[in-house]
A and B are shown apart, each in its own frame.
Chain A
Amino acid sequence: MKKIEAVIKPFKLDDVKEALTAAGIVGMTVSEVRGFGRQKGHTEMYRGGEYSVDFLPKLKVEVVVPDDLGEQVLALIAAAAKTGAIGDGKVFVTPLLEAVRIRTGERGERAL
């Protein structure tokens, strides 16, 4: 199994979700996160003073898929989340040791 974590622009969530569900992926986890990459945040103004916002709001989408689907899902997310502008985010893939469906006790790929 592979765990795919994608840090994306918040408004790209729908595009990513649709691309994945269209490809038959059922289930994903989304969390609100903040962070920065090479862009290193930006500055905002408040009552005449400038301040830096180093951690920009992003969404992290986590999907676990069988090994043979990993490359396909990675490509789907990368395509769906792309605007071509700075700050589109990143996708990370890691091997996953185990999964359990809590209700039934099923394990491994059967739990996905």
Chain B
Amino acid sequence: MTRQGRSVLLALAVGGLLAAGGAALAQDKPVDPLETLEAKAADAKVAIDTVWVLAAAFLVFFMNLGFAAVESGFCRAKNTVTILAKNFVVFAVSSIAFLAVGFGIMFGDGTPFFGTHGLWFVGGADGSPATGDAYQGVYAALNWTGVPLWAKFFFQLVFAGTAGTIVSGAVAERVKFGAFYLFSFCMVGLIYPVVGHWIWGGGWLAQLGFWDFAGSTVVHSVGGWAALIGALMLGPRIGKYGKDGRVHPIPGHSIALGTLGVFVLWFGWFGFNPGSTMAADPGAIARIAVTTNTAAAGGAVAASVVAWLLLGKPDLTMILNGALAGLVAITAPCAFVSVPSSLVIGLAAGVLVVLSVLFFDRVRVDDPVGAVSVHLVCGGFGTLALGLFAQDQFSPGTTGNGLLFGGGAKLLLAQLTGVVAVGLFVAVAATLVWGLLGAVMGIRVSAEEEREGLDLGEHGISAYPEFHAAPAWGPGVPAAASATSGARVGAPAVERGR
């Protein structure tokens, strides 16, 4: 037990004794010691829940570092500063946008499509930490959790920030810094909160029986769709595709940094999913921690095997994407499925993500870090998996049973409706915002700046000023001629062209 928990219990016990003593002395003013004890216990629960929610939120905040490390590691050294800058400011932008209006749109009472009450600066009336019918205020959609309003806000803010930061990787190495900056404001202040209202704000999808525990759709698919539209509208990086249509890989400059980032993300997910209970419910948070971890493990193992079989080598970047795929996929169902089911979901996501990365490469959607495959594809898959694997026993009275556990197709259809509706809305909204930005200021840097690197063009500094070696490879040097010779990486030096 935490130190806070212990001192709260101590206070509770002392308070109880004092109350009992007081009642014995003051005969004319009887105080029910049990009632006092109950009140103290309720206070203690609020304290413990709040500490849990905030600690989980701090873990999710840490995921910003994970994204920054993965994305900069998977891109070239000449674009490191701009990627770090994007990932850094996006949380600052999110903090202001979500405070100013995002939270109000998402959780304010109002229409089934967006909130209308308490819109600005979380300024509506609020009765937290009272729950259920006892709650008096305009953020009724969150009245199920007994923590103070600012704990609710902060926890939701770090999720909004995650949705914003997902976009960064897919548009990396060619997007104008200013365009991304403004897009992030619209994303976290408007697009994300509207979808969030539909699902977590008591909107129409929630009423339809659509479930997303921690945000496979609300956070990851929304980020993934905005990322896909951005990547499509920007077009591929110079050199990614040859004139003959061949795909030229552009290797990231630090797989070490990328791996570090995925470790941070995996760690942060222990706040993302178990924290979404928004209460220190021992059984639930322990089980969710295990379903989350098991799915990540399944994703990593499946991706390594599939990459090994399909590509000839267990490409580490694919294994890293695999772990993230498992994590994204289990995010929606983590509270509603058994641990064995979470393994199946993770394994499936790990297979899916490798195929998806290869698919998007082939259809010429240049996504340097695999953000679309991880967040959109596996976010959608995880949301649907909830409709298959959910079991009523874990959160009675919520999802009911999924298709594979005798609950019929009702839940799966609701999930499918949500996936499609959210996809359509975000695709249209993101197209409008990226399009508007493109018309007003342009969203892509000049070809000259792209070749030189965005670090110098956008920010005027380089990430590694002491190193200036040119890469040993180059786009435009097709591997076709060599592929026939049998010389492969890792193979003992085989002379070619002999």
B472 touches A34 (CB 8 A): yes
A55 touches B472 (CB 8 A): yes
B311 touches A52 (CB 8 A): no
Given contacts A50-B249, A85-B492, A87-B493, contact A43 B479 (CB under 8 A): yes
B361 touches A48 (CB 8 A): yes
- Is B473 an interface residue, CB under 8 A from the partner? yes
- Is A51 an interface residue, CB under 8 A from the partner? yes
Given contacts A40-B496, A86-B495, contact A54 B249 (CB under 8 A): no
Which A residues lie at the B interface, using CB under 8 A? Answer: 34, 38-57, 85-87
A44–B252 Cα distance when bound, in Å, is 13
* Contact partner, B489, options A34, A39, A44, Cβ 8 Å: A44
A98–B251 Cα distance when bound, in Å, is 45
| Interfacial chain A residues near B361, Cβ < 8 Å | 47-49
CB distance from A101 to the nearest CB of B (A): 29
- Is B420 an interface residue, CB under 8 A from the partner? no
| Interfacial chain A residues near B472, Cβ < 8 Å | 34, 53-57
Most interface-central of B248, B252, B357 (chain A CB within 10 A): B248
Q: Identify which of B166-174, B259-267, B312-320, B428-436 touches chain A.
A: B312-320
Sampled A-B contacts (30; CB under 8 Å): A34-B472, A40-B496, A42-B488, A42-B489, A42-B493, A42-B494, A42-B496, A43-B482, A43-B489, A44-B473, A46-B251, A46-B317, A47-B357, A48-B307, A48-B310, A48-B311, A48-B354, A48-B358, A48-B361, A49-B247, A50-B482, A51-B248, A52-B473, A53-B472, A54-B474, A54-B477, A55-B472, A85-B492, A86-B493, A86-B494
- Is B468 an interface residue, CB under 8 A from the partner? no
3 smallest A-B Cβ distances: which pairs? A49-B249, A46-B249, A50-B479
CB distance from A79 to the nearest CB of B (A): 20
* Contact partner, A85, options B249, B481, B489, B493, Cβ 8 Å: B493
- Is B497 an interface residue, CB under 8 A from the partner? yes
CB distance from A12 to the nearest CB of B (A): 13
Chain B: interface residue total (CB-CB under 8 A): 38
A50–B477 Cα distance when bound, in Å, is 10
- Is B26 an interface residue, CB under 8 A from the partner? no
| Interfacial chain B residues near A39, Cβ < 8 Å | 493, 495-497
**Contacts beyond the supplied A41-B482, A42-B494, A46-B251: 6 A-B pairs with Cβ under 8 Å:** A39-B495, A40-B496, A51-B479, A54-B474, A85-B493, A86-B494
| Interfacial chain B residues near A49, Cβ < 8 Å | 247-249, 361, 479
A40–B497 Cα distance when bound, in Å, is 8
B482 touches A52 (CB 8 A): yes
Given contacts A34-B472, A53-B472, contact A47 B249 (CB under 8 A): yes
A49–B492 Cα distance when bound, in Å, is 20
Closest to B248 in A: A51
B473 touches A45 (CB 8 A): no
Closest to B255 in A: A46
